[in-house]
Amino acid sequence: MDPQPFSQDEDRATELGIDPIGNGDTPLYFGLAGTNARGGHAVIGFLDPARDSLLEYDLSRLIYRLDDAPRPVVGWLTDLPMSAGFDETGQPRQAWVAFEQARQLLDLRVLNDNTTTIDPAINVLVLAHPAHLSAATLFAIDQYALRGGHILAFMDPLANQDTGGADPNDPAALAAADRGSHLQALLEAWGVDFNPTAVVLDAKYALPVNAGDGRSVRHLGLLGLDASAQVNADPITAGLASINLGTAGFLSRAPDATTTFTPILQSSDQAALVPASRMASLTDPATLCSGLKPSGRRYTLAARVTGRVKSAFPGGLPDNAQLPPGQTLLSASIKPLELVVIADSDVLSDFMWVRTQQLAGQRVAQPFANNGDLLLNAIDNLAGSDDLMSIRGHATYERPFTRVTALQARADERLQARAQELEARLRDTAQRLKQLQDQRTDQGAASLTPAQYQELQRFQARKLRIRKQLRAVRLELAQDIDRLEAWVEFINIVLAPVLFAVLALLAGLMFRRKRIFRP
């Protein structure tokens, strides 16, 4: 329907929750509302064209909500500022889009880090960067796992959204703060090794970022994973075109594990490890390329763990711990544990996968990666529901230009080497000028001495030569890409049609010959 001003249709649209776009005399309504026979209703307030690839999912989710099927109960425990509130400066803070989407679709129950029991009604327990959990809370999680709990854990060696209790405006304090996830005791009991002090760098999946001075550099610690990073065809990543991670760690199977460890996402063989402390104090991502020596190993970034486990608390209840009413203390699994571990919590933060803007007074999210789909797929899978699984993975797919990317990576390495050479000469020249200044007898003079002037001239000449070399490298890169583009265009525009025409002509001649010589 097209609600006209002051009509019953307009009143009905407003009643159902479809907000108009514009405040003029003829506002535009572009939403969808559904009702069921029991008086319930669900609404998509605005059909955002930017979410065209997710339209089928959005419609199915609306129908799912109208069906009044019991929603999965999800316990959500995090040390990150995901919910709406106020930041350290007292300014209002919006909820993370991933958290908000999960709350709309699921029966979400937020737990605090002093929780002493896990409600047995919880279908899936989400642990998003568990950093400062008490022994009683760890014990409650342990008992939940022993009862066959389904757990989704986001572990992180360096959570960029966690200040670790330090002043976010103090870079030194922030770099020294502990911003890693800590769940080692439970992970070891579940057969998972996680190093909270190591970050994975990857030259293949590095995302381009703005260096702040107009340069675009590849950040080896921010990874844009495509389909090649997905292994073992796990349903939670099926059909997802891109997943972005930030300063992710890695996982491996513990040597004495009794569980099955199945990788879901892996780095490329162009990856290496660096200390999390280096990433915490990083100011220029371009420096990560210097001295990078790929290990040749593919590091596991996400994994599925299943099987029976033993308690991480063989000594019994720790201080302040308790059991839910009617439950007894367990020392081993009574049902197999179902666990999905992702070695990054920044995967949930808005800056890694979604842009938000205000449209007609509403907050509209425009995803550029499938991080939100990864979260919801994982929860649906662990909750035992496949209702939306087959359609949630319908994301826009873009085939990467691997040869162009490789050319760009090689050029970036060469440009980085030249840039470092220029920076070294800048430092050397500045030091030389300082020494010359200290040797002057006329400290009050403002003009340069002849020696300083000659030194400055030599530096400027060197700077011009290096800039010419940088331009030559960029020109060479452009020429390589132009030649590749010209060759692809020739194949698509000229060669392929000519071959098709020749084959069609030959087929026609053969068919005609058969008709002529048919007895």
What was the pLDDT predicted at 248? 96
Answer yes or no: do 143 and 283 share one domain.
yes
Phi, psi of 13 (to 5 degrees): -60, -40
Which alpha helices (H) appear in 301-401, and where do they start and end?
371-382, 389-392
Residue type, 162: D
Residue type, 295: S
Answer yes or no: do 220 and 160 share one domain.
yes
Total Cβ atoms within 10 A of residue 407: 17
Q: Domain span at residue 17?
A: 12-44
SS3 363: strand
Answer yes or no: do 40 and 69 share one domain.
no
Answer yes or no: do 20 and 156 share one domain.
no
Q: Considering Cα of 277, then 280, then 283, then 287, what sign does the dihedral take? A: positive
Q: How far is CA 517 from CA 145, 187, 362, 511, 514, in A?
A: 78, 78, 74, 10, 5
Per-residue pLDDT of 384-395, as tens digits, reads 744 544 444 444
Q: How far is CA 73 from CA 262, 284, 323, 345, 380, in A?
A: 25, 43, 20, 21, 11
pLDDT band of 67, cuts 50, 70, 90: confident
Per-residue pLDDT of 94-151, as tens digits, reads 899 999 999 988 899 999 888 889 999 999 999 999 988 999 999 999 999 999 999 9
Q: Rounded CA gap, 199 and 17, in Å? A: 45
Give the position of tokens 């605005």.
46
Answer yes or no: do 482 and 353 share one domain.
no
Angle at CA of residue 396, ends 390 and 398, nearest 5° = 130
Answer yes or no: do 365 and 413 share one domain.
no
Per-residue pLDDT of 244-302, as tens digits, reads 999 999 999 999 999 999 999 999 999 999 999 999 988 888 888 877 889 999 999 99
For the chain, what is the domain count? 3
Is the confidence at residue 219, as pLDDT, over 80?
yes
What was the pLDDT predicted at 290? 77
> Which whole number is the average pLDDT over 83-93?
76
The residue with greater pLDDT, 408 or 66, is 66
In a domain, 267, yes or no: yes
> Which whole number is the average pLDDT over 179-205?
94
Answer yes or no: do 32 and 159 share one domain.
no
The residue with greater pLDDT, 466 or 335, is 335
Phi, psi of 219 (to 5 degrees): -90, 110
279 and 199 Cβ atoms separated by less than 8 Å: yes
Q: How far is CA 142 from CA 21, 164, 304, 322, 329, in A?
A: 50, 25, 17, 12, 11
Answer yes or no: do 357 and 471 share one domain.
no
> Which whole number is the average pLDDT over 50-76?
76
In a domain, 94, yes or no: yes
Is the confidence at residue 54, as pLDDT, over 90?
no
In a domain, 204, yes or no: yes
Q: Rounded CA gap, 224 and 247, in Å? A: 11
In a domain, 303, yes or no: yes
> Which whole number is the average pLDDT over 433-449?
56
In a domain, 86, yes or no: yes
Q: Rounded CA gap, 111 and 109, in Å? A: 6
Answer yes or no: do 281 and 381 share one domain.
yes
Give the residue among 208, 184, 168 at the shortest CA–CA distance from 88.
168
Q: Rounded CA gap, 48 and 366, in Å? A: 8
In a domain, 398, yes or no: no
What was the pLDDT predicted at 48? 77
In a domain, 273, yes or no: yes
What was the pLDDT predicted at 76? 96
Residue type, 239: G
Give the residue among 290, 287, 334, 333 at the shortest CA–CA distance from 310.
333
Answer yes or no: do 199 and 256 share one domain.
yes
In a domain, 508, yes or no: no
Q: What tokens appear for 409 in the block?
A: 């990576």
Q: What percent of the chain has pLDDT over 90?
A: 37
**170 backbone φψ class: left, alpha, beta (φ>0; ψ -120 to 50):** beta
pLDDT band of 243, cuts 50, 70, 90: very high
Q: Rounded CA gap, 465 and 425, in Å? A: 12
Answer yes or no: do 273 and 140 share one domain.
yes
Q: How far is CA 83 from CA 87, 92, 96, 255, 364, in A?
A: 11, 11, 6, 38, 17
Answer yes or no: do 19 and 125 share one domain.
no
Name the DSSP letter for residue 285.
G
